[in-house]
Amino acid sequence: MHLKSYVTAALYGLPALAHAAPSAASYSQPSTPSPSSSASEDHFREYTIKAENITAKVIPYGARLTSVLVPDRDGNVQDVVVGYDDPKYYLHDSQTNRTFFGATVGRYANRIKNGTFSIDGNTYHIPENENGGQDTLHGGFIGYDMRNWTVTSYSDSSVTFTLLDQGFENFPGDVISHATFSVSTEKSAENPRGLPQLTTKLVSLALTEKTPIMLANHIYWNLNAFKNSDVLKDTSLQLPLSERFVGADSIEIPTGELLDVDTAYEGALDFRQPKLIGKDIEKTTDLCGDDCTGYDTCWLVDRPAAYAAANSVVPSLRATSEKTGITLDVATNQAALQIYTCNGQNGTIATKESQAKRNKAQDGDSGATHINKYGCFVIETEDWIDGINQPQWGRDQYQIFGPDDGPVVNFATYQFGTF
């Protein structure tokens, strides 16, 4: 309660902008921003943070990462984050495709079955915004991805956004969250080579009532910088601590089953050793939903008891691009990783014109000019999805928080190198 009284009106996240949505579902990205009223300019202002060999851009709308520039094996700069050159196109996206490109999602990431959960015998219902009313995805119709966060700190290498959620989408109680993005190349025990590193910190506090809290970054990656049409035969993935994954039904709601990666779907989900994303993808029919082939799956990060505590930061994912030689190593304190291989993309959204120009200058052609099916992949560091509706999993202590509890922290580092 003390903390709530301290929060000023300046930290209150503005409602989602109520502009009319552009009508076209298939469109090209403009090379220059379109005119906009001064009242909304701040929500789409790009904040640039830099360190040696890494530059990132973020905007307050959705506390969203819009670009990460790192060198490839030849020293050429590449943008490895999927999104838009014009920040105002994220609003267009929200009103049309709602891809969640680069956004911070919440108050509860991923899906909640029937938009319903119970806490201490009380049942709560929030708006269902997916599958004809069968579940709530990423916080509801207006999730954190569509809120205008407030910039509360900004330096050359770090930005912090803040949002006060006063019962958004009928979630119980008030929650204040801070989303910090920082870059560095400082040498440390976790980064002994001083590689370019992006760090994300999502810190939330329940202020008034017990409530589910599970924020996540929803960053789309393409390590080949759209020099190839997709990532299937170019990008390798390794999940060294993931021996199990969450079983899901035909609309991707967890069934309660925890399945072994080495036996389910003929081993298609076994990435304990590096493997091309496309190597076994044809074996995944119905894995990502009814009649869907691809990955949209929650892998558990099982820390060996003798190796690390349950919430310790551990290397959880490694991805590499044969085309550019760019490597990405992710470490997190979270207990699961949701990986999505852009199965729903269909080539109607253009890639960034800025990257197409880089490809043209470097390779003589623009590469993939649109985001194709399997043309990228998403990494969400989070807890076990819909754990609030699976009491047998025992995840409430990691997903339900009240005013007497400490902060909820989702911490992740993204280190970039080459091979």
Q: What is the pLDDT of residues 352-397, one digit of tens each?
A: 999 999 999 999 999 999 999 999 999 999 999 999 999 999 999 9
Tokens standing for 46? 């790009």
Establish whether the linkage from the previous residue to 244 is cis, with ω within 30° of 0.
no
Task: Classify 362 as helix, strand or coil.
Answer: helix
pLDDT in tens, 332-361: 999 999 999 999 999 999 999 999 999 999
Domain that holds residue 271: 2-418
What mean pLDDT value characterizes the chain? 92
A 10 A CB-CB count for 346 gives 15
Annotated catalytic residue, options 178, 218, 353, 382: 218
Mean pLDDT of 235-256: 98
Mean pLDDT of 136-157: 98
pLDDT band for position 41 (50/70/90)?
confident
User: Model-level pTM?
Assistant: 0.91
Active site residue 370: no
**CATH number of the domain within which 218 lies:** 2.70.98.10
Q: What is the DSSP string of 332-360?
A: ES-SEEEEE--TT--S-BBPPHHHHHHHH
Percent of the chain residues past pLDDT 70, beyond the cut: 90
How far apart CA 226 and CA 224 sit, in angstroms, is 5
How far apart CA 411 and CA 242 sit, in angstroms, is 18
Tokens standing for 83? 């999104």
Predicted local distance difference test score (pLDDT) of residue 12: 35
pLDDT in tens, 286-345: 999 999 999 999 999 999 888 888 899 999 999 999 999 999 999 999 999 999 999 999
Active site residue 218: yes
Total domains, the chain: 1
pLDDT band for position 40 (50/70/90)?
low
pLDDT at 250 over 50: yes
pLDDT in tens, 62-116: 999 999 999 999 999 999 999 999 999 999 999 999 999 999 999 999 999 999 9
pLDDT in tens, 158-187: 999 999 999 999 999 999 999 999 999 999
A 10 A CB-CB count for 131 gives 15
Of residues 398 and 37, more confidently modeled: 398
